[in-house]
Structure 1
Amino acid sequence: DFRLTCLWYRITFFCYSASVVTEKKTWEEALEYCREHNDDLASVGSETEMLLIQKELRKQNTTEHVWIGLRFLSGDWLLMDGQEMDFEAWGEEGKPSCPHAKMRCGALQVAVGRKGTWKAHDCEERLNFICS
């Protein structure tokens, strides 16, 4: 079952587009899918982007977590689009400083009635994802 939803918002010189993909893929497969469609896994670089993505995710029937463009590489968490990490949304466990080799991919918790958070996730788990 494939479903693609696009969202565009304009907020004072701010335009953001994202596609929620309800296919279940590993982190690498999701990245490849987004790039094949001239996008990238979504980098959640601001609180505004987080709120817009969460708003759209609440309309969808998705996995509890969705892949985003966040990866642990060379000893640090990086956004795959190269943005500086001026915004972070780690959950109660905080930002993992040295995650297990399998847990080096970032997922966003689909929040119901509260803010979503980032979580280190098993890269081989099959989740829905967001391209932007």
Structure 2
Amino acid sequence: MTDRCQLRLFFLCYNEPLVLVRENKTWEEALASCRALAADHDAEPDAFRNHRYDLASLLSDSDYAYARTQIQSATTDEVWMGLRFLAGGWLWVNGDGVQHDGLPPHPEARRRCGALAKSGDDSWTIRDCSERRNFLCLQRT
């Protein structure tokens, strides 16, 4: 066991590969925080390759269902996930396209980040990226 594994952080709920971080951050801050988790800081600085975690991309129904159970202990009603409107379309931070009905094709300028609600039938919601909330990190495979 490494020293890192013995460190207890009250704002992290480790349940790998999905990590709920109970700190309130903007979407951009949440992305940076996920990428800093267990990153290889000795590697060449490359924003995509030297990190083990990213904001969660929920690519399947099972990913979505698992994430919904994990966020029940969040301290905010919604948590950031890795969904963002960029270059005229919705994308996951891992580069995959989004397969979800109901996302606005042209969202308001400030409401371009995806969050997952703890309750409700359609728990995907589009929020202002500068809002502060808990977030989900997913280990990259």
TM-score of the superposed pair, with normalisation by structure 1:
0.80
**Partner residue of 1:13?**
none
Structure 2 unaligned segments of length 5 or more: list them: 1-8, 38-51
Unaligned runs of 5+ in 1: 9-16
Task: Give me the CA root mean square deviation.
Answer: 1.7
Return the match for 1:77 from 72, 90, 93: 90
Structure 1 residues 53 and 64: CA distance shift in structure 2, 3 A: same
| Superposition deviation, residue 83 in structure 1 | 2.2
Other-structure match for 2:76? 63
Measure, in 1, the Cα distance between the counterparts of 2:77 and 2:15.
20
Stretches of 4+ moved more than 3 A in 1? none
Q: 2:124 is matched with which residue?
A: 118
Aligned residues: 116
Give TM-score scaled by structure 2 length.
0.75
Rg larger in structure: 2
Task: Confirm whether residue 131 of structure 1 aligns to residue 133 of structure 2.
Answer: no
Shift, 1:118, TM fit: 1.2
Task: State the percentage of identical aligned residues.
Answer: 41
